[in-house]
Amino acid sequence: MIWKEARYLEEGGILGMNRRNAEYIMAFNPRSAFPRVDDKILTKQLATEHQIPTPPLYHIIEYHGDLTGFEKAVSGHPQFVIKPARGSGGGGIVLVTGRSPGGFIKPSGEVISKVDLVYHISGILSGIYSLEGLEDRALIEGLVIPDPVFAAVAYQGVPDIRIIVYRNIPLMAMVRLPTRSSDGKANLHQGAIGVGIDMASGKTLKGVHGSLVIEHHPDTGNPVSGIQVPYWEKMLGMASRSSEMTGLGYVGVDLVVDQSQGPLLLELNARPGLAIQIANRDGLYGRLKRIDLAPPEIFETLDSRVAWARESFKTSS
Amino acid sequence: MKHPAAVLAVALLLLSAALINYRIIGLGYPVLATAPGKAWQVSMDAYVKTDAKEIAVMIGLPSTYGERINVEEKIHSGALNFNLLRQGPNQIGVWSGTPGAGEEVIHYSATLLIRPRRSSKIKPPELDPYPATIGTESQLLAQRLAERWRNLEPTARFQAIATTAKGVWGTPPPSEKDLQAWSEIQRKHERPLAFQTLLRAARLPSRILRGLHLVESVAMSPLTWIEVWTGQGWEKFDPETGEIFEKSVELLPLTLGEVPVVQVSDGALPEVRWTISQQILTQWRMHLERIIRSGRFLDRWSLFHLPQQFQETFRILILVPLGALIICVLRNIVGFPTFGIFMPVLMALAFRNTGLIYGLGIFAGVVFIGYVVRRWIDKLRLLLVPRLSVLLTLVILAFIVFALIGSKLGLREFMAVGLLPFVILTMTVERFFVLIEESGARAALRTAGGSAAVAAIAHELIHFQSLQLTFFVYPELLFAVAALQILLGRYTGYRLSEVFRFRKLRRSP
């Protein structure tokens, strides 16, 4: 009975954890390329070299001695974000939306004093938020103002778009919408909603929240499906080029749509999760196999890769 | 099969199988390491009473020979001196001196290990000449009598000769005169020797043995039997009754050849009693006794040569890789979530002192206390290393509290808390907290439950005696474990948990 169930999964083209690790991550992602995606500063620098837009980098703080220069670095920027370069799960990220006489204003309206913020950065440098507990760097970058396209279906926070890319061909995508239960974070583990995207049109499909398939946002009540993701073709191109620049064969590309700057590369993930399959109600394995069978010439140019992907992974609904 | 991992796994499996085979076939290990071997306790008590000033009592003693191992000998000789005399294959105990007040009780006991019987290559014996005391005329008579069996197979020839002890000669019977002469020889030379002559005439090598029947019993006199070489092995029969002993009958020889089991210098035979009883010897002890006496390379490099207290450690350690294998299966095939990779195995090891139930309970208690404190500490924004140090201190404090409560309540399991792996506990507290923060309480509790279940399975496995012994005797089984681990490393199929996770996406007809 179990074997039968597993057979159905295979027929559904579902990618399992073991196969993802052995046949895609281990086979296509060289260890030496991991720092390029694990360190947000390196990713940003690489993206800049390859003309892939990212939120503007204001400043990097590497040593505790540099902390004194922090105020000068942000003096021209009323809004900014402080992030640990090697953080995970959104830990250690502080958003600043303005100034007040007491210090800096956070999105919640709470005020954080300069001393507290410097102490927070000091914590980042010491590795509080880095997964291995190693010393880390802090980066200060521009605050993303999300495009209003998802405003009706996002509860606070910034929705982002995850695109899985294999051999530089984008094959599956989803929008991650923050909810009240995810505390404004766009992480599916933490309660965010994943909404599949039709690769051909860039329109959203149904969503998944926890293990439930949903059609409406649990907090705002608005339908999550049928939303046209803006700059869709451009995003697919950015995803493909991001993957190309890292040298990783199997990668998750996280993008955001800024109100004024359009799509920006936020970060990359060398071990993207499998939940995207549930959001799209389709398997990755089937699509991965189709890429392996694709004619070699489609891999040659960016346009041919994106065009082939849009044509091949159209969702029939 | 072309994948190098598969090749390596097969090579390791073959290596493991080859070494085990060598031990079983070449070194005579039992096929099942836990198969019960037999141990016998043989005691001899002799009451010597004499008027002579000097006395010498010579008694045949069991020796380590072939499938028997003399594990332990105890000798009590009273006022007499004891000497061990080796006469060819025989081991004779000699008690000599002046008995106190004209009587003496001497005592001897041995613990014998009987290895499971297996056909081994025994060199066929030479056909010895006729016994020296048998005259030419008797030899001719024996040859005449043996003539009737000339065309039989050795085994049939032996059976026919043994049957003559019952007076059955078959048809036509030998002449009355020959039969009478034969009875005469038997009377004159004792039956065993007469039979040896007849067997010699029938060209069957034979030997006379005296000893004991290995069954729970008390014997006042030893048994005499004749062993006859029939080409494949030694067949045994009783020359008095003609009874042929089954292969399963175990006889313990004390002397070989024309040597009486008990001899006394001044002729007055002492009262001798043999007590035979089966003994329970732990399987560990049996393997130890056998291996420690072997000079073969693999035996000399056996774990049994380690001092006892280190052996104890290895009995447990040797099963840890098996625990890791279970974790591989549970994580990669079933999809159990666990804290850390080997944390459950380390927990399982630690539960040895506290027991599984108490161990899990204490573990849960410490993690819960740790979690509450960790949650509060989070506000302090401590750096990683000092933060973990604080948790470590907390864990140790919790241990102390548990131990003190244990001592007040008289609970040994609580006092043994100090042997739990505190570093693992500290890391578990931290991971538990991070998991609750990042993935919620449900995911964290599921992971905690998974860890506990895996720890319980690993605990039962690691402390399974028979398995410990098997791995201890055949450490090369670890190669097979490694092979399975390698094969699991190449398993790219679905995890059982994924069947449920992606159930809605499956494409069923």
Task: Show residues of chain A in contact with B446, CB under 8 Å.
Answer: none
Secondary element (H or E) of residue B357:
helix B356-377
Chunked into runs of 10 residues, chain A (317 residues) has average pLDDT values of: 82 90 92 88 93 92 84 86 84 86 84 86 83 82 90 84 95 91 73 91 88 84 90 94 93 94 93 90 93 92 92 80
User: For residue A171, is it within any domain?
Assistant: yes
Average pLDDT on B176-189 reads 84
Position with higher pLDDT, B39 vs B348: B348
* HEC readout, B43-94: EEEEEEECCCCCEEEEEECCCCECCEEEEEEEEECCCCEEEEEEECCEEEEE
Number of Cβ pairs < 8 A linking chain A and chain B: 90
Choose between B78 and A231: higher pLDDT.
A231
**CB contacts, 8 Å: B493 with chain A:** 6, 16, 18-19
Residue B2, chain A, CB below 8 Å: the answer is no
Among candidate residues A96, A112, A141, the one where a domain is terminated: A141
- Distance separating the N- and C-terminal Cα atoms of chain B: 32
Q: Which residues contact B172 (CB under 8 A, 6 or more apart)?
A: none
Q: How far is CA B72 from CA B40, B43, B69, B124, B289, in A?
A: 11, 11, 9, 31, 10
**DSSP string of A114-141?**
HHHHHHHHHHHHHTSSBTT-----EEEE
- B492 and A119: CB-CB below 8 Å? no
Q: Do A153 and A222 have their domain in common?
A: yes
Identify the H or E element spanning A45: helix A40-49
Residue A55 pLDDT: 93
Which of A106, A141, A176 is at the close of a domain? A141
A44 falls within a domain: no
Dist. CA B497–CA A2, nearest whole Å: 11
Distance CA B448, CA B454 (A): 10
Q: Do strands B251-256 and A138-141 pair parallel, antiparallel, or not at all (unpaired)?
A: unpaired
**What confidence score (pLDDT) does residue A235 get?**
95
* Domain annotation covers residue A134: yes
Order of strands across the sheet that contains A262-269:
A212-214, A204-209, A193-197, A169-177, A160-166, A250-258, A262-269
> Is the CB of residue A1 less than 8 Å away from at least one CB of chain B?
no
Residue B274 pLDDT > 80: yes
Cα–Cα distance for residue pair A310/A170, rounded to 1 Å: 9
pLDDT the model gives residue B51:
74
pLDDT at A168: 94
CB contact under 8 A, A123 and B381: yes
Task: Pick the residue of A1, A3, A8, A185 with the most B CBs within 10 A to test the interface with B by mutation.
Answer: A8
Same domain, A176 and A240: yes
Distance between CA B179 and CA A158 in Å, rounded?
117
Backbone angles phi, psi at B91, to 5 degrees: -120, 110
| Whole-number pLDDT of residue B48 | 80
The pLDDT of residue B267: 60
Q: Is the pLDDT of residue B120 over 70?
A: no
Q: Which of B331, B447, B501 to mutate to test the interface with A (most CBs of A within 10 A)?
A: B501
B266-270 own/partner pairs: CB under 8 Å, 24+ apart: B266/B50, B266/B52, B266/B55, B268/B49, B268/B50, B270/B46, B270/B47, B270/B48, B270/B49, B270/B57
Residue B359 pLDDT class (50, 70, 90 cuts): confident
pLDDT for res A195: 93
Q: Tokens at residue B13, please?
A: 């499996």
B8 with B486: CB under 8 angstroms?
Answer: yes
Closest alpha carbon to B270 in B39, B44, B485, B503: B44
C-alpha–C-alpha distance, residues A231 and A241, integer Å: 15
Q: Which of A8, A120, A133 sits opposite B384 (nearest CB)?
A: A133
CB B508 to CB A8 under 8 A? yes
Each residue of B190-206: pLDDT tens digit? 888 888 888 888 888 88
What pLDDT is attached to residue B248?
A: 76
A160 and A26 inside one domain: yes
pTM of the full predicted structure? 0.70
**Predicted confidence (pLDDT) per residue in A3-26, tens digit:** 888 888 888 889 999 999 999 999
Q: What is the identity of the amino acid at B294?
A: S
Q: B135: which 2 tokens?
A: 């005259």
- 3-state SS, residue B235: strand
Residue A189 touches partner B, C-beta closer than 8 Å: yes
How much of chain B exceeds pLDDT 90, in percent? 11
Partnered with residue B223 across adjacent β-strands are B211
Task: Name the band, by pLDDT with cuts 50, 70 and 90, for residue B373.
Answer: very high
Do A81 and A153 share a domain, yes or no?
no
The total number of structural domains in chain A stands at 2
Residue B1 has pLDDT above 60, yes or no: no
pLDDT digits (tens, 9 = 90+) for B321-354: 998 998 899 889 998 888 877 888 888 888 877 8
Residue B65: predicted pLDDT: 63
The span from the CA of A257 to the CA of A306, in Å, is 19
d(CA A294, CA A60): 42
Whether residue A19 and residue B493 make contact (CB cut-off 8 A), yes or no, is yes
Residue B274 three-state SS: strand
Closest CA of chain A from B6, distance in Å: 14
Looking at residue B117, its pLDDT comes to 53
- The answer to whether A16 contacts B494, with C-beta atoms less than 8 Å apart, is yes
Statement to judge: residues A135 and A157 lie in one domain: no
- Verify whether the Cβ–Cβ distance B507 to A123 is below 8 Å: no
Write down the pLDDT at residue A140.
92
Q: Closest Cα to residue B228, out of B259, B197, B252? A: B197
Inter-chain residue contact B495 with A2, CB threshold 8 Å: no
Position B266: which residue type? D
Number of helical (H) and strand (E) elements in chain B, helices listed first: 17, 13
Cβ B505–A189 below 8 Å, yes or no?
A: no
B234 pLDDT higher than 80: yes
Q: Do B503 and A23 touch (CB under 8 A)?
A: no
Q: Are residues A31 and A66 in the same domain?
A: no
Q: Answer yes or no: is A235 within a domain.
A: yes
- A49 lies in a domain? no
Mean pLDDT of all residues in B392-405: 91
- CA separation for the pair B395, B380 (Å, rounded): 19
Q: Which residues on chain B are in Cβ contact (under 8 Å) with A191?
A: 440
A106 with A130, same domain: the answer is yes
Reported as a pLDDT band with limits 50, 70 and 90, residue B13 is: very high
Instruction: Check whether residue A61 and residue A33 sit in a common domain.
Output: no
Domain annotation covers residue A45: no
B508 touches chain A (CB under 8 A): yes
Which residue in chain B has the smallest CA separation from A208?
Answer: B504
What is the tens place of the pLDDT at every residue in B138-173?
888 888 888 888 888 888 888 888 888 888 887 777
Mean pLDDT, chain B, whole residue set:
83
Percent of chain B at pLDDT exceeding 70: 93
Q: What's the pLDDT score for residue B67? A: 65
Q: Please report how the helices B477-489 and B320-328 are oriented relative to each other, as an axis angle in degrees rounded to 10.
A: 20
Q: Which of residues 262-281 of A touch B (CB under 8 A)?
A: 274, 277-278, 281
First-to-last alpha carbon distance for chain A, in angstroms, is 30
**Which residues of chain B have a CB within 8 Å of the CB of A23?**
492
- Whether residue B443 lies within 8 A of chain A, CB to CB, comes out as yes
Q: Are residues A179 and A256 in the same domain?
A: yes
Q: Indicate the residue type of A242.
A: S
Reported as a pLDDT band with limits 50, 70 and 90, residue B276 is confident
For residue A268, the model assigns a pLDDT of 93
pLDDT per residue as tens digits for the range B98-117: 777 777 788 888 888 776 55
Residues A276, A299, single domain; the answer is yes
Judging by beta carbons within 10 Å of its beta carbon (0-12, 13-18, 19+), is residue A212 exposed, middle or buried?
Answer: exposed
CATH number of the domain where residue A227 is located: 3.30.470.20
**Is A126 in the B-facing interface, judged by CB distances under 8 Å?**
yes
Q: A-contacting residues of B 259-298, CB under 8 Å? A: none
What is the Cα gyration radius of chain A? 20
Nearest beta carbon to residue A5 from set B489, B490, B499: B499
Q: Do B381 and A128 touch (CB under 8 A)?
A: yes
Q: pLDDT at position B37, please?
A: 62
CA pair distance A163, A287, nearest whole angstrom: 13
Averaged pLDDT for residues B271-288: 77
Collapsing DSSP to helix, strand or coil, A218 comes out as coil
DSSP B395-457: HHHHHHHHHHHHHHHT-HHHHGGGGS-HHHHHHHHHHHHHHHHHHHHHHHHHHHHHHHHHHHH
Are residues A93 and A226 both part of a single domain? no
| Matching residue, tokens 């009473």 | B49
B156-191 b/e (C-beta count within 10 Å ≥ 16 → b): ebbbbbbbbbeeebeeeebeeeeeebbeebbeebeb
Q: Residue A32 sits in which domain range?
A: 2-38+147-312
Select from B383, B505, B507 the Cβ nearest to the Cβ of A277: B505
Domain assignment of residue A297, yes or no = yes
Residue B291 to chain A, least CA–CA distance (Å) = 44
Judgement on whether residues A164 and A234 belong to the same structural domain of the protein: yes
Inspect the interface and report whether the beta carbons of A6 and B499 lie closer than 8 Å: yes
Is A226 part of any domain?
Answer: yes
**Cis amide bond preceding A230, omega within 30:** no
CB B22 within 8 A of CB B476: no
Q: CB-based contact (8 Å) between B378 and chain A?
A: no
- Enumerate residues 6+ apart whose C-beta is below 8 A from B377: B387, B390, B391
Q: Which residue has the tokens 């004619």?
A: A295
pLDDT tier, B66 (very low <50, low <70, confident <90, very high otherwise)? low
Last residue of a domain, one of A118, A141, A164: A141
Chain A interface includes B86 (CB < 8 A): no
